[in-house]
Amino acid sequence: MKARDLVELANRNLREAMLRNSLTTLGIAVGVASLVAMLSLGVGLQNLASERLSRTGLFDAIFVAPQTNLNGFGRPVRPANAPAEPPRPLDEDARHQIEALPEVVEVYPEIRFPTEIRFAGNPYPTVVAGLAPSARSDGAFDGMKGTYFSSPSADEAILQIDFARELSNQPDTLIGQEIVLRYAERQALPADTAGGNSGGGFSIVPREEKLRIVGIVETEPAAGMGGFGRGRLLIPLQVAETLRAAQATDLRDLLRDKPSQRTYESLTVRVKGASQVQGVEDALKQMGFTAFSLLDATRNLRLVFAVFDLLLGIFGSLALVVASLGIINTLVMAILERRREIGVLKALGAADRDVRRLFFVEAGAMGLLGGVFGVLMGWLIGRAINFGTNIYLTRQQLPSITIASVPWWMVAAAIAFSIGVSLAAGIYPASRAARLDPVEALRYE
């Protein structure tokens, strides 16, 4: 029998016992809904965790340093039998070379220096940190007071809340006010002024810079190798670089051949996504630098969620297993009811495989319909969970989140799974129907 005829006959048969088939289909739908709701919760929580973690900038970032710098971390500088070459400096050339790598979004240095600011005539010692443009998407700025920097080159500052409290009992009033940043600028000296050395040197000159406070942040943005506790006064990285403020590592440059040429202690390389981290990390190592990322931590996180999803999927599938028993029951009942009809079909020329396929199509159709309705129900349950969760979070004055997520792959997989389970449930009834002796079946009253 041709596929279209099979589908038409199956459709007719399903409509014949509408109530029973609808209830069976509903059973499948409930099973699929349970599965989808469970998995959507797992996926939603995974997405939420991944999103929050990726917004910290730790999981799509690679930290690069000259090979000697990270010796202290227990990493071998080079193989013991390798020729002794000076490690490649992490200078401006290296930065440009890294920026040119495919998949690299931005490369920025860690700029952090102790300094002093003046506000309302009083000095306040603090640590200034430069914020890369990508830091804006950092979750740390979600609930900030005021605004983020108006541009990457704006002479603006964001204060960490504890530091803001040192400046004023009412930190909110600081927004819009000016502070004066006092810092030591590093100025390169001509070669002949540095005592005749061929490499030249630099001098330290005190400077002042006016900054306008635009925001106050509750938590400290955690990015770069410095990570937590990196700075209490945050300025755009571009501004921080322009200041050419002397940093603790500058003394090391004096020992190099070209002390006037600045090198970086470390650079943070941000890539397009976590999946590109490994490739770029390998490329950086090839270039002669030490590079490491928190990719392993991401892998462990994925493993945890994979197990979590598996467990949720197993619990969700139990309802589908029960539903599949409903399919078997419905189809076995259908064989008993349609015994004579099966005999007639065989007498008219239906092969065993035609009868088997007919029952399979009926089981598959129930699986398809149950799958579609189940996904819809599961999606609605997910929406209800999101809605309820966000009402609670709003009352707790917390930002809204998506806790249950139904991606397209889950829709397709749930429907395919539903059809698969239904077809599996149809194997026994379909085989039994196909094996019916037509003479016996025609005799059946």
Partner 1 sequence: MAPGNQIAIRAEQVTRHYQMGDTLVRAADNVSLSIRAGEFVALLGSSGSGKSTMLNLMAGLDRPTSGAIFAHDRNLAEMSSEELAHHRSHTIGIVFQAFNLLPRMTLEENVELPLRLAEVDRGERTARVREAVERVRLGARLTHRPSELSGGEQQRAALARALVNRPTILLADEPTGNLDSATGDEIMLLLREINESMGMTIVMVTHERPRAERVAHRLILMGDGKIISDGASA
Give the residue with the Cβ less far from partner 1, 17 or 188. 17
Min separation Cβ 348 and partner 1, Å? 5
Q: Which is nearer to partner 1, 20 or 145 (CB)?
A: 20
CB of 363 to partner 1, least distance (A): 20
Q: Which residues contact partner 1 (rule: CB under 8 A)?
A: 1-2, 5, 9, 12, 16, 340-341, 343-354, 438-439, 442
Smallest distance, Å, CB 433 to partner 1?
Answer: 14
Q: Which of 52, 435 has the CB closer to partner 1? A: 435
How deeply is 198 buried, as exposed, middle or buried, from its count of CB atoms within 10 A (0-12, 13-18, 19+)?
exposed
Cβ neighbours around 318 below 10 Å, total = 13
Given a contact cutoff of 8 angstroms between Cβ atoms, the answer to whether 249 and 265 are in contact is: yes
Q: How many Cβ atoms are within 10 Å of 204's Cβ, its own excluded?
A: 13
Q: Which is nearer to partner 1, 2 or 395 (CB)?
A: 2
CA distance 255 to 50: 43
| Residue among 425, 438, 439 at smallest CA distance from 360 | 425
Q: From the CB of 359, what's the least distance to partner 1, in Å? A: 15
Give, in order, the Cα–Cα distances in Å from 349 to each of 240, 337, 437: 86, 20, 13
The rounded distance, in Å, linking the Cα atoms of 117 and 126 is 7
Q: Which residues contact 112 (CB under 8 A, 6 or more apart)?
A: 127, 128, 129, 130, 226, 230, 231, 247
Smallest distance, Å, CB 320 to partner 1? 31
Task: Give 14 or 381: the residue with its C-beta nearer to partner 1.
Answer: 14
In whole angstroms, the minimum distance from the beta carbon of 24 to partner 1 comes to: 19
Please say which residue, 161 or 333, places its beta carbon nearer to partner 1.
Answer: 333
Helix-then-strand count for the chain, H and E: 12, 11
Angle in degrees, 0-180, between the axes of helices 277-286 and 295-337, rounded to the nearest 10:
150
Q: Which is nearer to partner 1, 191 or 442 (CB)?
A: 442
CB of 11 to partner 1, least distance (A): 12
